[in-house]
Chains A and B, each alone.
Chain A
Amino acid sequence: MKVLVTGATGFIGRNLCLDLAEQGYNVVALCRNTAHPYLISHKNITPVKGDILDRESLAKAMNRCGQVYHTAALAKMWCRDKNDYYNINVVGTRNVLELAGESGVNKVVYTSTCGVWGPTIKHPMSENDPRIDGFAIDYERTKYLAEIETRIYSAKGLNVVTVNPSRVYGEGPITDSNTVGKMISGYLKGKWRIIPGKGTQVSNYAYLDDVVKGHIAAMEQGTPGNRYILGGEDISFNAFFSTLQSITGKTYGMFKLPQRVIEAYSQFELLKTTLTGLPPVFLPEFAARLKKDQKYSSQKAITQLNYSITPFEEGMAKTINHIKSL
């Protein structure tokens, strides 16, 4: 069967292409640049030049595909033109869903994010929990709006399942949206020496291989119109860096940067970016987020999709080995 993957050069998309190709699917890999270094070459992967914002190229790529995995998104922390977030994440998703409906695609899996919930209070969030925070972060706001698009098309009869990965780490290229990879590689070089706040903030870390398998399981077994959190273990910054330390055997004196300093610095960065247009290192909306946990439960995916979680230490060991080899 022909299967379309959008965002085929992305952190999740490229490994998804590979897994599907290995399983014998004919993968149509949509990319803006077919010579992209992150695109995986495989006999079952056909790179097709196209853009989710160019409906004609998208329709062409989707032609005779039975399934669509829509992983393409703008996942960076910052970009020069804020409208890009809305266009790529919302309009792009609308294009994919609309054309999938028109061209007779059987099922769409849409890659959302746990960022649509954002911060948590005490217990891990699950699919039916409400969002408790505002929408200061562009990525989260536009991914939330894109989920509303999936609900609209689902109500119109399109078979679409949403998956919500948490903070994904694993073996892949180190890019702007691969925040965990950036931290690990910085640590290995001895350049990343800070722990935000007291280091007690907890985030959920999902191992890339689990997330890719979760996508395929959502296509095979996901209930139409449902969403599934694809997460991993809830880990604090302190635990993250002590795991990193014990696996690498490298011990650096880590400096705990007080929250107030981070906030002040983020305000300075915002001012710098506003005045000069230079990319910021860190922004106030992300500084505010460091005060809250981001814990998520993958229980629904475990029960309904046979989703399994690779233990954090095991996933980290593989990731660290991979980053050392780059």
Chain B
Amino acid sequence: MMPLTAIVTGASEGLGKSLALELASRQIDLVLVSLPASGLSELAGFIRKNFEVKVTIFEADLTLAESCTSLFALLKSEELTAHILINNAGLGNWSWFEDKNIGFYKKQIELNVIAPVLLTHLFLAQLDEERTAYLLNVGSLAGRFVIPKKQVYGATKSFINYFTRCLQLEMERSNISISLLSPGGINTKPELLVLNHTLKGIAKATITEPDRVAYEAIHGMFLGKKEIIPGGVNKLMVVLNAILPGFIKDMIIKSKLKPVVKL
């Protein structure tokens, strides 16, 4: 059988890069999407050389709607059908709402919400119904817990959560498996490395390594899991979240925030 082809957005760094490597190690061809000048061609060269899979790169800013359409136009012109879409690209933040400008939030919503919706739509339209397809949307535990200083980011991930669950119901009878990945913090980008490095206690225990998250994500995706929560402590947090009454959770979050709450 022809090898599967997977699109990974935000592939140049962090979790996206680990997901690309995990797929390549399973002999899956890749279409890697990332911003221009983000080292994508070096990554593609490395993967081709070391895993001997076909790698296509597409450098574009996904906050522009036309980037999404031109990605699938490129695939069509190359006679490529994607069987797997991983909506991974995203923009995070850890800041008080007033501290970022409106341009930042617009971009964050465009990348975290609009791009995955458009890409999913375009992806479904080009599927070959004979072959099982896979859609993996990267959400976040931040989409399940209310975390101050992650107000817009968490809201975009709640959107992804709802969107993915809804599609799972709508497309139950189709030959497509749809999974939601809900990771906690991941040791990825250099700027996050500094931040994660200063964490302590439970916050630190929820931080996981990207290659581990990538393995659990792809493994879970092929098993057809509806939601994948990487890391033992994270799973426990989700369970606690479901059983603890609301006022206790609020108390915990507020007490955690005490040192940082602005007066």
Chain A positions within 8 Å of B, measured between CB atoms, are 82, 86, 121-123, 128-130, 132-136, 141, 144-145, 148
Interface string of B23-52 (1 = CB under 8 A from A): 000000000000000010011011001110
Q: Which residues of A contact B262 (CB under 8 A)?
A: none
Q: Tell whether, in the assembled complex, residue A130 and residue B43 are in contact, meaning their CB atoms are under 8 Å apart.
A: yes
Residue on B with the closest CB to A90?
A: B194
Residue on B with the closest CB to A134?
A: B209
- A90 to B93 CA separation, bound complex (whole angstroms): 23
Beyond A121-B51, A136-B187, whether A82 also contacts B197 by CB under 8 A is: yes
Q: Tell whether, in the assembled complex, residue B209 and residue A145 are in contact, meaning their CB atoms are under 8 Å apart.
A: no
Interface centre among B18, B51, B193 (most CB of A within 10 A): B193
Q: Tell whether, in the assembled complex, residue A121 and residue B197 are in contact, meaning their CB atoms are under 8 Å apart.
A: no
Beyond A135-B193, A136-B209, A148-B190, whether A129 also contacts B17 by CB under 8 A is: no
- SS class, residues of chain B in contact with chain A: helix
- A264 to B212 CA separation, bound complex (whole angstroms): 18
**What band does the interface of chain B fall in when counting residues whose beta carbon is under 8 Å from A?**
20 to 34
Q: Is B59 an interface residue (CB 8 A)?
A: no
Q: Is B142 an interface residue (CB 8 A)?
A: no
State the 5 A-B residue pairs at the shortest beta-carbon distance, nearest first.
A134-B209, A121-B50, A122-B50, A134-B210, A130-B43
- A286 to B197 CA separation, bound complex (whole angstroms): 18
Q: How far is the CB of B8 from chain A (nearest CB, A)?
A: 14
Q: Which residues of A contact B49 (CB under 8 A)?
A: 122-123
Using a Cβ cutoff of 8 Å, how many contacts connect chains A and B? Answer: 48
Which of A82, A86, A132, A135 is the one whose CB lies under 8 Å from B21? A132
Beyond A86-B197, A121-B51, A136-B209, whether A130 also contacts B187 by CB under 8 A is: no
- A144 to B194 CA separation, bound complex (whole angstroms): 11
Q: Which residues of A contact B39 (CB under 8 A)?
A: 130
Known: A130-B39, A135-B209, A144-B193. 17 other contacts (CB 8 A): A121-B50, A122-B50, A122-B51, A123-B50, A128-B42, A128-B45, A129-B42, A130-B46, A132-B18, A132-B21, A133-B211, A134-B209, A134-B211, A135-B193, A141-B187, A141-B197, A145-B190
Q: Is B188 an interface residue (CB 8 A)?
A: yes
Considering only residues 81-135 of chain B, those with a C-beta below 8 Å from chain A are none
Beyond A134-B188, A134-B211, whether A145 also contacts B42 by CB under 8 A is: no
Q: Tell whether, in the assembled complex, residue B42 and residue A130 are in contact, meaning their CB atoms are under 8 Å apart.
A: yes
Residue on B with the closest CB to A130?
A: B43
Q: Which residues of B contact A86 (CB under 8 A)?
A: 194, 197
Residue on A with the closest CB to B213?
A: A134
Considering only residues 188-241 of chain B, those with a C-beta below 8 Å from chain A are 188, 190, 193-194, 197, 209-212
- A82 to B211 CA separation, bound complex (whole angstroms): 23
Q: How far is the CB of B86 from chain A (nearest CB, A)?
A: 17
Interface centre among A86, A134, A136, A145 (most CB of B within 10 A): A134
Q: Which residues of B contact A82 (CB under 8 A)?
A: 197
Q: Tell whether, in the assembled complex, residue A134 and residue B187 are in contact, meaning their CB atoms are under 8 Å apart.
A: yes
Considering only residues 1-31 of chain B, those with a C-beta below 8 Å from chain A are 17-18, 21
Residue on B with the closest CB to A127?
A: B42
Q: How far is the CB of A146 from chain B (nearest CB, A)?
A: 10
Q: Tell whether, in the assembled complex, residue A135 and residue B43 are in contact, meaning their CB atoms are under 8 Å apart.
A: no
Interface centre among B46, B188, B211 (most CB of A within 10 A): B46
10 A-B pairs with CB atoms under 8 Å apart are A121-B50, A122-B49, A129-B42, A130-B46, A132-B46, A134-B209, A135-B187, A135-B209, A144-B193, A148-B190
